[in-house]
Structure 1
Amino acid sequence: MASSSNRACSGATRSLEWPHGRHLDPHARAGRGAPLSPANGYQLRRELVSWNVDSWAKVNPGSIYSMLATLTKQGMLEATALPEGGRTVTVYTPTPAGIEELDRLIHDGIRTVTAMDPTGFRVALSFAPLLERGVFAGLLEDRLQTVRGGADGLAVEAERILTTQYAPPHVAYSLGLEGCLLAAEAEWIEDLLTVVRDGGLNFAGEDGGWVAPPEDAGWEMAHESARYREQLERLHAITAESHGKSA
């Protein structure tokens, strides 16, 4: 049975409303209540700052604008200029290619095991509710096998160093630390898998899920993005009508 501490950690995963399974919906709501799109650069920077990404990831919130430009050039985002209060603001919407890339990154982040730097896994875990329950469980099972194999291999290697002295003894203890981290993670994954298989947490295509409290700052982004979405829909309708008349 999962320990109370592990259940609390598992429950901290953000629950996102992406109703189309592993084919991710660009209009899904993030755990804080804010749609992922459309959004402008300031909104995204504000969101990154609220996650303190500069303290745990190699991301400077101030560089968000250059990142958005790069992703747009790569075809991952679509940029649209919209009028807003006497000025023009650029809003960004994920393209099908961008959604596919996000899907790939989540899968790779869950599968890839790096005991001394689990940042990628933790980020992917936060997006796990974008996946169907069975898909997420399968990815966790893959990770569990890799983690177990890594822990066993490190234990054997550490013992070999101490026995044969083919490397400085302190290296064995360094490997031992990494092995202990992997062994602890294996137990944690087993607990999380029990929660998922028993119907805990919320995943794509399922009713319910966590909703931010009314006072959460993320709702401001939700309202702004809803307004952008309405503007984009009107713009697309006008464009389609214009093309229809010219055809």
Structure 2
Amino acid sequence: MSATRLLVLGVVRMHGGSGGAHGYQVRRELLSWSADKWANVQPGSIYHALKKLALEGLLRQVETPQGRGPDRLAYTLTDAGEDAFQQELQQRIADVDGAAGGAYEFAAALVFVTALPRRLAIDLLEHRLGQLDGQRENVATVLDNGTGPGHPAHVDELYRLWLAHCDADISWTTDLIARLRAGEYVMADDAGHNFGSATPSATS
């Protein structure tokens, strides 16, 4: 699932309610978060994602009489949409994806981390931390043994950059786990939870 699709599901989940979330509401919310910069979300792709997710049964269209044109349609999350959101959220928090776009998808998941119960979020981040440790070990091994015969010496700088990225990610993930353990942030199983909460009208 792309970063845009996950973000759209999450915002509809937050604002859908019984009347649904309009496309312009979803677009306004994501642009107010600057998601076009850190998740590469293009404004036009938001409307495309809404329509596609509705066709797939992850969102349900609701007609609103006060709207005109595209704005007459609003969207709520279906049960299948809730399942897809939770599955993708958990996978993206837990897994270190080296493929293109992985950073965007992790960023999209991170903004909804409080939609998870605290213990689950910690477990997923600890899984991620284990993968990061493995990545760091692999990169460090290459640096220790050299990148191979025939490679220019300056190629090592790329591995040093990757090593620095691993160290930064490990440090940040470790700190976030500690903050969650200390009770920081209102998570899905905490009293008073609201950000990213599922709407009570989510039905299939």
Pairwise TM-score range, normalised by the shorter structure: 0.7 to 0.9
- Compute the displacement of 1:27 (Å): 8.1
Instruction: Give the partner amino acid of 1:58.
Output: N
Match of 1:118 among 77, 86, 103: 103
- 2:4 paired residue number: none
Matched residues, number: 185
Identity of aligned pairs, percent? 31
- 1:203 paired residue number: 187
- Compute the displacement of 1:28 (Å): 5.8
CA distance in 2, matches of 1:134, 1:128: 12
* Runs of at least 5 residues in structure 2 that lack an aligned partner in the other structure: 1-8
CA distance in 1, matches of 2:92, 2:124: 10
> Counterparts of 1:138-157 in structure 2 under 5 Å?
138-157=123-142
Instruction: Give the partner amino acid of 1:39.
Output: A
Which structure has the larger Rg? Answer: 1
Residue 118 of structure 2 contacts residue 187 of structure 2 at CA under 8 Å; is this kept in 1?
Answer: yes
- 2:23 paired residue number: 41
Q: Tell me the SS of whatever aligns to 1:176.
A: helix
TM-score computed with the length of structure 2 as normaliser: 0.78
Offset from partner CA, 1:96-126 (integer Å, 9 cap, x none): 1111111111112112224796332222111
> Counterparts of 1:190-229 in structure 2 under 5 Å?
190-208=174-192
Q: Does 1:185 align with 2:169?
A: yes
- 2:74 paired residue number: 91
Match of 1:158 among 121, 143, 146: 143
Residue 159 of structure 1 contacts residue 172 of structure 1 at CA under 8 Å; is this kept in 2?
Answer: no
Q: Name which of structure 1's ranges 138-147 and 76-85 shifts more when overlaid on structure 2.
A: 76-85
- 2:45 paired residue number: 63
- Compute the displacement of 1:65 (Å): 2.0
CA distance in 2, matches of 1:98, 1:66: 16
After superposition, the Cα gap between the structure-2 partners of 1:75 and 1:210, relative to the gap in structure 1 and judged at 3 Å, is closer
TM-score computed with the length of structure 1 as normaliser: 0.65
